[in-house]
Structure 1
Amino acid sequence: MNVQTMAQRAYAENATSTRTNRATEYDLFARVTHRIKAAAEAGPKAYPQLVEALYDNRRLWTTLAVDVADPSNKLPQELRAQIFYLSEFVQLHTGKVLARKARLAPLLEVNAAIMRGLSGRGNTR
């Protein structure tokens, strides 16, 4: 390993460790949302990638639901309840999307709204 590679690796590790929880959550939402959009835009041949991205989105939302259900979570109770409700919606709606009985757009809209909140931009509509 050369010096440049070592420097890049050290910088990358340091940059990652200084990220806030909000930035990490935003990045997770951005990645999974991008994967869902890309697979949907690629059409039927990318259906396996869409299923995988939707699975990962469900896992992300399940993790959030578990986190906000924890009594030691410091978020306001009302916000915790809203996040839990959104998680339930995502779980149910994803099943409908996979059964081809619902559109993908609501899932993307929910993720986009969460990303706006995490970035501090709020609702710009």
Structure 2
Amino acid sequence: MNATTLAHRGYAPTAAPLKSARRAEYEVIARITSRMMSALQAKNFNGLIHAIHENRTLWRKLAIDLADPENLLPDDLRARLIYLSEFTEQHSRKVIAREASATALVEINTAILRGLK
């Protein structure tokens, strides 16, 4: 190996480019939504409970971020998303109690995914 090749290797990027925050959010929401959909289709209640737990955790974290005064989203959008977080929490309880279907949770996440694209 010559010095030029060694220099190129030495100064070449060592990691893949970082994802944008929007792309990372999209991937997390898509993964969780896919798990909920798969569990619904397979009629796998235990799998659905695990996916709902992930979804609730996600929405709680989103709500914390949205409540931060330094969040740059418009106030109206932040309020709507916080409402969705509250709805998700309440509806998840109903699904776990077998009083409602998880379809609404999937639809909410799907709408958010469309907005992120």
Same fold (TM over 0.5): yes
Q: Tell me which of the two structures has the higher relative contact order, counting C-alpha pairs closer than 8 angstroms and 6 or more residues apart.
A: 2
Please list, as runs of the form range in 1=range in 2, the aligned pairs for 1:23-102 lying within 5 A after superposition. 23-43=23-43, 46-102=44-100
How many equivalent residue pairs? 105
- TM-score, normalised by the number of residues in structure 2: 0.85
Residue 21 (structure 2) aligns with: 21
Cα deviation, residue 104, structure 1: 1.3
Residue 105 (structure 1) aligns with: 103
Q: Which runs of 5+ in 2 are unaligned?
A: 1-12
- TM-score, normalised by the number of residues in structure 1: 0.80
Runs of 4+ in 1 over 2 A off after TM superposition: none
CA distance in 1, matches of 2:91, 2:14: 37
SS in 2 for 1:92: helix
Q: Which runs of 5+ in 1 are unaligned?
A: 1-10, 120-125
Cα deviation, residue 13, structure 1: 4.2
CA distance in 2, matches of 1:87, 1:113: 13
Q: Deviations over 1:17-53 (max 9, x none)?
A: 1x1111110101100000001111112xx32211111
CA RMSD of aligned residues (A): 1.5
